Structure 1
Amino acid sequence: MKASRTVSCLLFIALFVFLTGFSPEDQKIKATWLWQTTMIASEPDHILSFTQEQGVNLLYLKIDITRKPAYYQPFIKKAHAAGVTVHALGGNPNWGLKENRSKILDLVDWVNAYNQQVSPDEKVKGIHLDIEPYLLPEWKQDQASVMRQWMDNVEAYLARASADPTLETGCDIPFWLDKNPIPGNPQLTITEWLIAKHDHVAVMAYRDKAEGSNSISALVPQELGWADELGKKVLIAVETKQSNEGDFITFYEEGATYMNEELAKLPGLLAQHPSFAGVAIHSYEYWKTLKKE
């Protein structure tokens, strides 16, 4: 009886996979950022052929809200047909300040208005913010004040985005931010707070090796642990742009083949974390020019 139940279960799984195309590997996300909005007009086919070659299924597309929906519709429709989900990307360090909150809300309003005007296969499926206010001089002058403004801006953005509960919300977080407690609560870091607030986060673990000392996998256990507890998703992000912070920050020197080999190790290294949802490569503009060998 036990053997027959096992066989029946395996047959059911096989039939489910055949009918749906679902497998555990399909769950993993491979994302990239596209900051130069004009590229969707100048090289749309190249972008999508590249994403298909590289297995990208999530694109953070920088949105210029001065452009009309018609500018974005053809590209997003093609991306959808190619199996690539598009999230609206926006951000600037000064978006962490109260005085610039309206810029975040303008992006959310644009996305909501856009999605109401277009067909289902042309819709933006999420909003992804890259704010990074720790780059501002104000952060050094009064970190607590900037952090409060940043948190208030995030709260306002998420409240506005909740008008469409189907929108996925995400943000970028550097790995080292997990040492910074929020004002008034030394037990809660800004990283844990951000993970709790968003559907997924991209942790910028900018290193050029997957394992060992000072490696990608060594930098992210804290973030993944929090996300495990919170039931959230984490993408592990790497850099391909040349860096003045040192060669170990980026895969620029090593090239695409080596990067792919290192990224392929992460699912095994991070398998104990259910929150590990995949990887994100920053960014299309630099990734596409990486040497192949």
Structure 2
Amino acid sequence: MGKRILGSFLMMMLLFMVGCTIEEEPMPAEEGIRGIFSWTSSMHLEDLDTFIKVMDHLELNTVFQTISSSADVADVQMFLERAAKENLSVYALTGDPSWGLDEEGESMIRRIERMAWINEHVPKDHGFKGIVMDVEPYLLPEFKEDQEEIMAAFVSGLKKAYEVAKSKELEFIVCIPYYYDHWMLEEALYEIIVEASDQVAVMNYYVGKELEHLSLEATYAKEAKKDMMTIYEMKPPGTHGLTERNTYYALGFSAVEENFTAIQEALAEQRIHLVYHDYNAVKELLGYE
């Protein structure tokens, strides 16, 4: 009798220990974004196979794709269908500096509503996952004289657009330069990260200083419990005024990956994603031209 009781007790303890082991097993980590900006208005329809090869070569899983306001819906659907087949997430990439002057965010909202409409006309797993606003109001000639007023209008418009994006179940990502805080625009930066986006994509175009230039943005993102992205420029020096200090064109992809790994280690408590800029430059560097 005593042996049976002891045996039952030991069996219960064993089952308890196994149960604890199962419960404590960590959940697999959610796959991070590895993305690329694409300003190719044709959506690569003339050569989708090459587009897929570029994505596979760098193990990319996300494309931020510009969608022309005049793009044929059937073409957009074709691109989305192929991306879904390849397990790629697609975000609509859009924006213009002039949109930063509109405190109602009407131009941004129109683009959001158009992408939401397209999503209603494709299978649910084929649609846009979100929208990326690349507005850059600091490119306006009047920005230097009226930067606080313009930034206030920009942030106001972003907040309104963000609410619409949420109502349409679209992620809302905002592109920002790394230097808003250098221009004493910390308050606007805080509002963009905490109140006007699901996450920011930092145009971190200063080789070797990426971590330093992410410090404040990462602090705000951590406070808001939001992810963020760091973008690496791959265009050649001389393009749009780029110099060697702005681009990894000469240093190559291994240098990008090494830098990104160092950022991840330094910002271990902040979820951060890697993004390349842009598709045409990357395609050339990989030899797919």
Q: Which amino acid aligns with 1:82?
A: E
Q: Give the match's secondary structure for 1:41.
A: coil
Alpha-carbon spacing, 1:253–1:4, altered in 2? closer, same or farther (3 Å): farther
The corresponding residue for 1:136 is 140
Residue 103 of structure 2 contacts residue 156 of structure 2 at CA under 8 Å; is this kept in 1?
no
1:9 Cα shift?
Answer: 5.0
Q: What is the CA distance between 1:228 and its match in structure 2?
A: 0.6
Structure 1 residues 3 and 176, CA gap change in structure 2 (3 angstroms): farther
Note if contact 2:63-2:89 (Cα within 8 Å) is conserved in structure 1.
yes
SS in 2 for 1:141: coil
Partner secondary structure for residue 144 of structure 2 = helix
Q: SS of the counterpart of 1:47?
A: helix
Q: What is the alpha-carbon distance in structure 2 between the residues aligned to residue 175 and residue 143 of structure 1?
A: 16
Report whether the alignment pairs 1:49 with 2:53.
yes
Q: Give the corresponding residue for 2:218.
A: 224
Mapping of 1:126-275 within 5 angstroms? 126-164=130-168, 166-180=169-183, 189-196=187-194, 197-209=196-208, 215-243=209-237, 244-271=241-268, 273-274=269-270
* Structure 1: runs of 5 or more not aligned: 18-22, 183-187, 210-214
The residue identity in structure 2 corresponding to 1:96 is G
Contact 1:27 1:277 in 2 (8 A): no
Structure 1 residue 7, shift from structure 2 partner? 5.9
**What aligned pairs does 1:98-137 form with structure 2 within 5 A after superposition?**
98=102, 101-137=105-141
What TM-score do you get using the length of structure 2 for normalisation?
0.84
Equivalent of 2:280 in 273, 282, 285:
285
Identical aligned residues as a percent = 25
Normalising by structure 1, we get a TM-score of: 0.83
User: Tell me, which stretches of 5 or more residues in structure 2 are unaligned?
Assistant: 1-9
Of 77, 89, 98, 1:73 maps to: 77
Give the aligned residue type for 1:251: Y
- Greater Rg by CA: 2
Q: Is the 8 A contact 2:62 2:88 kept in 1?
A: yes
Q: Which amino acid aligns with 1:281?
A: Y
Letter in 2 for 1:106: R
Residue identity opposite 1:140 in structure 2: K
After TM superposition, give the deviation of residue 255 of structure 1 in Å.
1.9
- Provide the alpha-carbon RMSD of the alignment: 2.6
Query: Aligned-pair distance for 1:235?
Result: 0.9
CA distance in 2, matches of 1:267, 1:6: 35
Structure 2 counterpart of 1:81, one-letter code: K
Which moves more between the two structures, 115-124 or 129-138? 115-124
Distance change in 2, residues 1:53/1:198 (3 Å): same
Greater CA drift, 153-162 or 105-114: 153-162
Question: Offset of 1:155 from its aligned partner?
Answer: 2.4
Give the conservation status (yes or no) of the 8 Å contact 1:256–1:290.
no
